Amino acid sequence: MTSPAPAVPPSRNVGGDAGVTAAIDIGGTKIAGGLVRSDGSLAAAARRATPRGVDGDGVMAAVEEVVAELARDEAWARVRRCGIGSAGPVDASRGTVSPVNIGAWRDYPVLARTGAALAAHGARVPTVLVGDGPAMTAAEHWLGAARGHDNALCMVVSTGVGGGLVLNGRLHPGPTGNAGHIGHISVDVDGEPCVCGARGCVEAIASGTSIARWALAQGWQPDAGATAGADRSAAGVAVAARGGDPIALAAFDRAGRALAAAVAATATLVEVDLAVIGGGVAAAGETLFGPLRAHLSSYATLSFVQGLEVVPAALGTDAGVIGAAAAALELL
């Protein structure tokens, strides 16, 4: 990965014909790709399910299929760079990934393998790797809710909890591409163990999986008359909370409090003035944002963080692909 360019937003980081950026978004359920124009619009898109029950090269085969499909589009001739955003942990300094939700990849050389796939279709271009949290952050800073903010925290609250930082007007991925991984800040030092090995992490309290697990453990049921196929996920808990179910409301209050503590701690440490929150759990809207904002005032107490604003993410399902492209435009 090359040294960062001067501190300007990605949309102004290139002049003249910026060409097209190939972007790959790698997650536990899907691998998406796109050819992204310099204004952030998609010239082409491709998608594959993330393979299960295969080895590392079997997963890589899906990435190669996405690249091959993109290469059939006429815009491929204008590809000038490539960005990869991957579930983490990632190690951008070595070009490897070890995603918690892709067990077949441990220290997998995804940067080199993707570069080879690009070259096989005639695109020998510089390529950068970042975590999916920083990628989402790059997208929101470029075109979304963090646009125009020089210091912001962006978070994905979904099956897990991740995030990224914009500091002094630039994406700050850190040396390995994992900076801003707020899901593994401990907000309860005596809390339950997290999958990462620590205790009381934000992810262990506020992820969709954790919200649903806690609610069920407290006796919540989706619907007294529901069938076995009833929604027992965080989305189901959100529906119950909107209906006034006390356990469901408590589950989201608990999650909002954990998020508030982590957001306030981050703002106090690096002086961000905006927190953007996206992901599946954020789709609950005020069911999540209401308690989060209410608890934030108890944690963001110092004068320089009292104005901290919390807003929903603006970009939708293409945020991962757009973010991988935005990271490439800014970092290469």
pLDDT in tens, 211-243: 999 999 999 998 744 544 568 899 999 999 999
Per the structure, the complete domain to which residue 280 belongs is given by 148-312
Which tops the pLDDT comparison, 260 or 132?
260
Which tops the pLDDT comparison, 301 or 2?
301
Query: What's the CA angle centered on 221, arms 218 and 227, to 5 degrees?
Result: 155
| pLDDT band, residue 87 (cuts 50/70/90) | confident
Count: domains in the chain? 2
Pair (118, 154) in one structural domain: no
- Residue 89, pLDDT above cutoff 90: no
4 falls within a domain: no
C-alpha atoms less than 13 angstroms from C-alpha of 7 in its C-beta half-sphere: 10
Pair (155, 274) in one structural domain: yes
Rounded Cα distance, 178 and 4, in Å:
16
Residue 43's H or E segment, with its range, is strand 42-49
Q: Model-level pTM?
A: 0.86
Pair (247, 281) in one structural domain: yes
Pair (324, 285) in one structural domain: no
Closest CA to 123 of 153, 161, 83: 83
What single-letter amino acid sits at 57?
D
Rounded Cα distance, 224 and 244, in Å:
14
Which CATH number fits the domain that encloses residue 184? 3.30.420.40
Residue in the structure block whose two tokens are 């815009």: 75
243 falls within a domain: yes
So what's the pLDDT on residue 229? 56
Query: What's the CA angle centered on 206, arms 99 and 272, to 5 degrees?
Result: 85
- Residue 6, pLDDT above cutoff 60: no
Pair (114, 210) in one structural domain: no
Helix axes 234-242, 246-270, angle to 10 degrees: 110
| pLDDT band, residue 2 (cuts 50/70/90) | very low
- For residues 55-63, give the mean pLDDT: 96
- Residue 117, pLDDT above cutoff 60: yes
So what's the pLDDT on residue 317? 78
Pair (84, 188) in one structural domain: no
Characterize 60-86 residue by residue with b for buried, 16 or more Cβ atoms within 10 angstroms of its Cβ, and e for exposed.
Answer: bebbbbbbeebbebebbeebbbbbbbb
- Residue 9, pLDDT above cutoff 70: no
Q: Is 146 helix (H, G, I), strand (E, B) or coil?
A: coil
272 falls within a domain: yes
| pLDDT band, residue 50 (cuts 50/70/90) | very high
What single-letter amino acid sits at 89?
P
| pLDDT band, residue 12 (cuts 50/70/90) | very low
3 falls within a domain: no
19 falls within a domain: yes
Helix, strand, coil proportions of the chain in percent (round to 5)? 40, 20, 40
What single-letter amino acid sits at 182?
I
Residues in Cβ contact with 213 at an 8 Å cutoff, skipping those fewer than 6 apart: none
2 falls within a domain: no
So what's the pLDDT on residue 10? 40
- The first and second tokens of residue 198, run together, are 């620590």
- The first and second tokens of residue 279, run together, are 């992901």
Pair (169, 248) in one structural domain: yes
With beta carbons less than 8 A apart as the criterion, state whether 329 and 81 touch.
yes
Pair (130, 161) in one structural domain: no
